[in-house]
Amino acid sequence: MASKMLCAWLGDTDVRASEGSAKDAPGPIGRALTARNFNQLLLLIDRPQLGPDYVKWVRKSWPSVTVLPRNCAVPPMDFEAIYHEASRAIDDAIAQGKSELQLTFHISPGTPVMGAVWVILAKSRFPAELIHSSQKFGVQTASVPFKMSVEFVADAVRMIDKRAERAIGKQPEAWITFDAIGCKGERMADSVEKARRVAPHRVPVLLQGESGVGKEVFAKAIHNEGLRRHKPFEALNCGAIPEKLIESELFGHVKGAFSDATADRKGAFARANGGTLLLDEIGELPPLQQVKLLRVLQEQEITPVGSSKPPIPVDVRIIAATNRQLSDDVRKGRFRGDLFYRLAVAVITIPPLRERGVDIEPLVDRELAEVYASLADGIKRTLSTGAREVLLRYSWPGNVRELMAVLTRACLWSTNQTLDENDIRSAIFGELNTPETASPSLSEIPPGFSLRDHLGEIARHHLETALAQTGRNKTAAAKLLGIKSHQALGKWLGRCGVVAG
Q: On the CB side of 397, how many CA atoms lie within 13 Å of its CA?
A: 9
The secondary structure of 111-157 as a DSSP string is -HHHHHHHHHHHTTTS--EEEEEETTTEEEEPP--HHIIIIIHHHHH
Sequence-separated (6 or more) residues with CB below 8 Å from residue 182: 188, 359, 362, 363, 366
Region 86-106 average pLDDT: 86
Contact predicate 50/15, CB 8 Å: yes
Region 382-411 average pLDDT: 90
pLDDT tier at 147 (50, 70, 90 boundaries)?
very low
The tens digit of pLDDT for each residue in 122-141 reads 877 888 899 998 888 889 98
Contact predicate 142/132, CB 8 Å: yes
Residue 441 has pLDDT above 50, yes or no: no
Instruction: Give the whole-angstrom CA distance, residue 387 versus residue 399.
Output: 18
Region 392-420 average pLDDT: 89
Look over the chain and give the mean of its residue pLDDT values, rounded to a whole number. Answer: 83
pLDDT tier at 62 (50, 70, 90 boundaries)?
very high
Instruction: Give the whole-angstrom CA distance, residue 361 versus residue 470.
Output: 10
pLDDT tier at 160 (50, 70, 90 boundaries)?
very low
Q: Counting beta carbons within 10 angstroms of the beta carbon of residue 77, is it exposed (0 to 12), middle (13 to 18) or buried (19 or more)?
A: exposed
Which of left, alpha, beta for 21 (phi over 0: left; psi -120 to 50: alpha)? Answer: beta
pLDDT at 386: 87
Distance of CA 330 to the CA centre of its chain: 32
* CA-wise closest residue to 156 among 181, 120, 126: 120
Lowest mean pLDDT among 177-181, 199-203, 273-277, 338-342: 177-181
Kindly state the percentage of the chain with pLDDT values over 90.
41
Region 99-124 average pLDDT: 88
| Domain topology for 178-349 | Rossmann fold (3.40.50)
The tens digit of pLDDT for each residue in 460-486 reads 777 877 777 776 778 878 888 888 888
pLDDT at 449: 61
Contact predicate 467/477, CB 8 Å: yes
Residue 174 has pLDDT above 60, yes or no: no
Instruction: Give the whole-angstrom CA distance, residue 173 versus residue 180.
Output: 10
pLDDT at 376: 67
Region 406-416 average pLDDT: 89
Region 22-27 average pLDDT: 86
Contact predicate 89/96, CB 8 Å: no
* pTM over 0.85, yes/no: no
Residue 293 has pLDDT above 80, yes or no: yes
pLDDT at 335: 93
pLDDT at 194: 92
The secondary structure of 180-212 as a DSSP string is GS---SHHHHHHHHHHHHHTTS---EEEE--TT
Whether the ω angle into residue 26 lies within 30 degrees of 0, i.e. cis, is yes
Instruction: Give the whole-angstrom CA distance, residue 398 versus residue 414.
Output: 22
Lowest mean pLDDT among 12-16, 357-361, 449-453: 449-453
Instruction: Give the whole-angstrom CA distance, residue 187 versus residue 358.
Output: 10
The tens digit of pLDDT for each residue in 185-206 reads 788 889 999 998 999 888 999 9
Higher-confidence position of 25 and 273: 273
Residue 17 has pLDDT above 80, yes or no: yes
* The CATH number of domain 3-150, selected from 3.20.20.140, 3.20.20.70, 3.30.2290.10, 3.40.50.10770: 3.40.50.10770
pLDDT at 182: 66
The tens digit of pLDDT for each residue in 331-373 reads 989 999 999 999 999 999 999 998 888 888 888 888 888 887 7
Contact predicate 317/431, CB 8 Å: no
Residue 167 has pLDDT above 50, yes or no: no
pLDDT at 361: 85
Contact predicate 43/71, CB 8 Å: no
Sequence-separated (6 or more) residues with CB below 8 Å from residue 297: 204, 318, 339, 342, 343
* CA-wise closest residue to 109 among 129, 90, 126, 132: 132
pLDDT tier at 1 (50, 70, 90 boundaries)?
low
Instruction: Give the whole-angstrom CA distance, residue 334 versus residue 283.
Output: 9
Phi, psi of 3 (to 5 degrees): -90, 130
Region 230-252 average pLDDT: 91
pLDDT at 342: 93
pLDDT tier at 489 (50, 70, 90 boundaries)?
confident
Region 169-183 average pLDDT: 59
Residue 251 has pLDDT above 90, yes or no: yes
Region 30-36 average pLDDT: 93
Q: Are strands 40-45 and 129-134 parallel, antiparallel or unpaired?
A: unpaired
Please say whether the structural domain 354-427 has been given the CATH code 1.10.8.60. Answer: yes
Residue 149 has pLDDT above 80, yes or no: no
Residue 228 has pLDDT above 70, yes or no: yes
pLDDT at 148: 46
